[in-house]
């Protein structure tokens, strides 16, 4: 495996050789500064920075030299495997979190112009994505019905009954939603992977969106606004963060930790458990691969708990 240092590392290579890694905060500062210029989401930048910082602290605590590691494939692989065991045994992190840390470290290694060694990832539990249970769904819908703002009800019921992604919801324009007549539907024009799809709207979701559209027209009748379906108070397209806040606020009202992604999982899980053909579920969910949809046929942790509890009732 070739060792080609990035321009960033070449500039400080000589200094690193003499100072070793006694001040990991310097390395972290350089990396996080570079991260700000990369096409990543803010949450990804924060996660990568935090996880790489934790790894650099580990190296400092174990007196490992960063430049020395980059000059030895075998030593780098050995240290990463040791760190993986540290995350599992000492820090007691879940398999998914361990994998996330390794991914961030791989990114840091690539930033330094290196090829990350192949450290095996943790096998993840074979479970369906986490959805709301039936009683939780009823509580959540009751809380949504009690929302005073029509935009909140429109957002909640549209997400709950279509399973669209939060970014897809934010990108909707008024003419992407048809709420009257027999052909009620929402049109996602450029979903994940730039995919186009149409999703039928049931009566409850259509009425909630229709109510919001009426309020939208009245509220912004005297000002020019963007064509977005959901607007913020300034008449501009609502952000994904604001949409997420609406969902979490309604969840808090009924005592449930809920995100838009969990609502999506709930819709797709409901379809699968209602014995809907997986091809139809994939079309509604915007899945390019049927294997992605098949995850929803897997048991949940609740299913496994129920199976064991039922043994006591026999």
Residue 17, pLDDT score: 40
Main-chain dihedrals φ then ψ at residue 92, nearest 5 degrees? 55, 45
Long-range Cβ pairs for the range 80-85 (8 Å, 24+): 80/105, 80/117, 80/119, 81/119, 83/55, 83/58, 84/119
Q: Give the length of the chain.
A: 314
Beta bridge partners of 199: 186
Q: Mean of the pLDDT values across residues 38-49? A: 89
- For residue 97, pLDDT over 70 is answered with yes
- For residue 22, pLDDT over 50 is answered with no
pLDDT tens-place string over residues 166-204: 999 999 999 999 998 889 999 999 998 889 999 999 999
Residue 268's contacts (CB-CB under 8 Å, 6 or more residues apart) are 129, 131, 163, 281, 284, 285, 293, 296
Residue 46, pLDDT score: 92
∠ at Cα 32 (26, 38), nearest 5°? 145
Structural domain boundaries in the chain: 7-111, 134-308
- For residue 228, pLDDT over 90 is answered with yes
Burial bucket for residue 242 (CB in 10 Å: 0-12, 13-18, 19+): middle
CATH number of 134-308: 1.10.443.10
Segment among 6-20, 109-123, 142-156 with least mean pLDDT = 6-20
Residue 280, pLDDT score: 96
pLDDT band at 125 (very low <50, low <70, confident <90, very high): low
Cα gap 19→275, rounded to integer Å:
63
Please name which of 297, 257, 262 lies closest in space to residue 281, comparing C-alpha atoms: 297
- For residue 255, pLDDT over 90 is answered with yes
Beta strands 177-178 and 197-200 are: unpaired
Residue 304, pLDDT score: 80
- Architecture per CATH, 7-111: Orthogonal Bundle (1.10)
Q: How many other CB atoms are there within 10 angstroms of residue 288's CB atom?
A: 11
The answer for 155, left when phi > 0, alpha when psi is -120 to 50, beta otherwise, is alpha
């Amino acid at each position: 495996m070739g060792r080609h240092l990035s321009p960033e590392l070449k500039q400080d290579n000589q200094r690193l050789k003499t100072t070793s890694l006694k001040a990991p905060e310097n390395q972290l500062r350089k990396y996080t500064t570079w991260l700000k210029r990369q096409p990543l989401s803010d949450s990804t930048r924060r996660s990568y920075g935090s996880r790489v910082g934790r790894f650099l602290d580990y190296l400092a605590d174990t007196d490992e030299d960063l430049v020395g590691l980059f000059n030895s494939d075998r030593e780098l692989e050995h240290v990463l495997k040791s760190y993986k065991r540290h995350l599992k045994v000492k820090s007691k992190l879940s398999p998914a979190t361990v994998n996330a840390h390794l991914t961030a470290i791989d990114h840091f290694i690539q930033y330094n112009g290196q090829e990350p060694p192949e450290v095996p990832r943790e096998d993840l539990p074979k479970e369906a994505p986490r959805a709301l249970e039936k009683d939780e769904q009823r509580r959540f819908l009751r809380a949504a019905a009690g929302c005073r703002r029509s935009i909140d009800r429109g957002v909640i019921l549209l997400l709950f009954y279509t399973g669209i992604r939060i970014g897809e919801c934010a990108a909707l324009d008024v003419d992407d939603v048809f709420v009257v007549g027999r052909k009620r539907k929402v049109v996602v024009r450029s979903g994940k992977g730039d995919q186009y799809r149409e999703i039928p709207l049931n009566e409850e979701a259509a009425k909630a969106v229709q109510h919001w559209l009426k309020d939208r027209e009245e509220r912004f009748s005297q000002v020019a606004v963007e064509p977005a379906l959901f607007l913020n108070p300034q008449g501009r397209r609502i952000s994904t963060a604001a949409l997420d806040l609406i969902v979490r606020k309604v969840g808090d009202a009924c005592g449930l930790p809920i995100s838009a992604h969990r609502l999506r999982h709930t819709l797709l899980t409901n379809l699968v458990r209602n014995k809907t053909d997986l091809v139809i579920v994939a079309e509604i969910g915007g899945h390019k691969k049927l294997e992605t949809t098949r995850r929803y046929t897997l048991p949940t942790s609740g299913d496994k708990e129920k199976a064991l509890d039922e043994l006591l009732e026999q």
